[in-house]
Amino acid sequence: PQKRNWDGRMLCQYQNNWFPVRDFQGVLSCQKNFQANETDIILATMPKAGTTWLKALTFSILNRHDLDESPLLTSTSHDLIPFLELDTYRDGQNPGLENIPFPRIFATHIPYRVLPDSIPGSKCKIIYICRNPLDQFVSHRFFLLKNRLQPEQDPLSLDEAFEMYCDGIHPFGPFWDHMAEYFQAGLENPDRVLFLKYEELKEDIVSSLKKMAGFIGAPFSVEEEKQGVVEEIARLCSMKNMKSLNVNKDGKWNGIIENSSFYRKGEVGDWKNHLTSSMAGRVEKILEEKLSGSSGLTFKNY
Ligand code: A3P
């Protein structure tokens, strides 16, 4: 089945999840063809959970020998780390994988149950970042309004968009299944799936970076810690720094999305400026119901 999302673009349902129709061929092609290597690192997220930040941090951990000359200063995170379904397999065939050096880093919004078998089936590592669904919804609303793909269609109101979100009808949704499945995978295979929260990264980026580096087998040495390498990566990848770089101010990703629209506020709790407390209560109730089987997955500071 297909439905029109509130911003006008079509979504289709597949294996109980909703996908943008324009990205669906890439999802299927990736699911069918991608062969993970055991050294691969897969960055998995819902759109607007902090993908751009996670890409910059992971890239920097692995390329920390010369942060002053980091490719992040002249290329966007999305140019450096492709999305499996949106870039590498976008056109189905010829993914050009042979040009990517090992260890390969890919990003994906694909839900856990729709991943190509070779990802859960190999020893590759998955880092998942999860974000308070209210902030994610608000972030996504701004992002899609700024990058209208169907400008001829009037977008639906905030209330109507929120209704669809609560019904799980949104790109790569439902959000509760997306986060719960990766969370569960992390509980079952903690050395293969690292489950992080955007809010925790905001609260303590240094500890988060150390956790990530250890997880991907590239822990910081005592010497590096003394030299302040962790703090340097945090600074390089900070919202303030990334947003100020020309490469992130100009140009478009995939020719359609403004690079600058990946950097808006980067704060925790911005939903309070846009949504009512009864809307928040509704999401809280959905999470209580839907995540009741996922012990430990909670969100504080609504
Ligand atoms: P807001 O719209 O709430 O500001 P994604 O990268 O998954 O598309 O998510 C984008 C969200 O992450 C946006 O949230 C954006 O501002 C925020 N973001 C981007 N880069 C960031 C960074 N370096 N630090 C913190 N947040 C960042």
Q: Is residue 262 within 6 Å of ligand 1 at its C-beta?
A: yes
CB-CB contact of 58 with 196 (8 Å): no
- Which of 59, 144, 236, 262 to probe ligand 1 with, by most ligand atoms within 8 A of CB? 262
What is the reported pLDDT for 302?
A: 56
CB-CB contact of 174 with 168 (8 Å): yes
Q: Is residue 76 within 6 Å of ligand 1 at its C-beta?
A: no
What is the reported pLDDT for 149?
A: 82
Give the containing element (helix H, strand E) for 144: helix 133-146
- Which of 139, 175, 273 to probe ligand 1 with, by most ligand atoms within 8 A of CB? 139
Q: Ligand 1 centre from 67 Cα, in Å?
A: 21
Q: Ligand 1 centre from 70 Cα, in Å?
A: 20
Interface confidence, given as ipTM, is 0.99
What is the reported pLDDT for 299?
A: 81
Instruction: For residue 280, give the amino acid letter.
Output: A
Q: Is residue 142 within 6 Å of ligand 1 at its C-beta?
A: yes
Q: Is 78 labeled as catalytic in the residue annotation?
A: no
Q: Ligand 1 centre from 20 Cα, in Å?
A: 21
What is the reported pLDDT for 252?
A: 93
Q: Report CA dihedral (223, 228, 230, 235) to the nearest 10 degrees.
A: -160
Q: What is the mean pLDDT of each run of 10 residues along the chain (302 residues)?
A: 92 97 96 95 98 98 96 97 94 78 96 97 97 97 90 89 97 96 96 97 98 98 98 98 97 91 97 96 93 78 59
What is the reported pLDDT for 205?
A: 98
pTM score, whole prediction: 0.97
What is the reported pLDDT for 125?
A: 98
- Which of 264, 271, 273 to probe ligand 1 with, by most ligand atoms within 8 A of CB? 264
> Which residue's C-alpha comes closest to atom 18 of ligand 1?
266
Percentage helix, strand, coil, to 5, in the chain? 50, 10, 35
